[in-house]
Amino acid sequence: NQLQAELKEALKELETRDKRLRESETATKSLTAENEKMQRNIKALTSQVEKLKRAGEESRVAGEVREKELLELRKVTSQEKRSQKASEADTHTREVRLNRALEELERYKRLLEETREQSRGGQEGAKHDLDRVNAENKKLEKQKQELLVAFKKQMKLIDILKKQKIHLEAARMLSFTEDEFMQTLESRF
């Protein structure tokens, strides 16, 4: 009887062990499946992290390019402003010279007229003065024409510089800043 009791106890313990073994196998399978799922998630997350790193690097490089373009535009704008100021100063100087030349021309015309009036009385001295005044008059007319041509060229240059300035300002308005570019990328992810 005691042997049967021990056998019964051993069978019961064996059954308990089998049950525990089955539970352990089920738990192991579940953990293995969970582990495989985690590994797949880790791979997917690693891939996503790599993509984000590449996108971040591309954004950084694009931002640097934009920054360089912006600096270049600022340089060009600064140079254009200096050039425009110099051009305006040069134009003003030419205008002053043109006005002086015109005043001198008028003075010589009056002198020529006076000389003609005097020449009616004495031809020899007056002819010499008249030749001198005529030569001076031609010289001043030539200077006047040169100044007018230079003035017209300056005005064209000013118009071109103004158009360039407008184009540069428009380009600056259209360019992205690095922050705007980063915000656009962040909104996509």
Token pair for 31: 């953990």
Does residue 39 have a pLDDT over 90? Answer: yes
pLDDT in tens, 63-102: 899 889 889 988 988 988 998 898 888 888 988 988 898 8
Higher per-residue confidence, 189 vs 25: 25
3-state secondary structure (DSSP) of residue 122: coil
Of residues 171, 153, 159, 151, the one with CA closest to residue 84: 159
Which residues, other chains included, contact 74 with Cβ-Cβ below 8 Å and sequence gap of 6+? none
Output DSSP code: residue 121.
T
Token code pair at residue 34 = 């969970």
User: pLDDT averaged over the chain?
Assistant: 86
Q: What are the CA-CA distances from residue 140 to residues 93, 99, 126, 154 (Å)?
A: 17, 12, 20, 21
Q: Using an 8 Å Cβ cutoff, are 84 and 163 in contact? A: no
**C-alpha to C-alpha distance for 83 and 78, rounded to whole angstroms:** 9
* Best CA proximity match to 161, nearest among 97, 72, 76: 76
pLDDT digit string, tens, across residues 137-180: 899 999 989 888 988 998 899 889 988 888 877 776 666 555 66
Measured between its terminal Cα atoms, the distance across the chain in Å is 76
pLDDT digits (tens, 9 = 90+) for 41-72: 999 999 999 999 998 899 889 889 988 988 99
- What pLDDT is stored for residue 179 in this prediction? 60
Which tokens in the block code for residue 179?
Answer: 């922050």
pLDDT of 123 above 70? no
| Tokens 């308990």, residue located | 16
Widest CA span in the chain:
176
Query: What confidence tens digit (pLDDT) does each residue in 13-35 have?
Result: 999 999 999 999 999 999 999 99
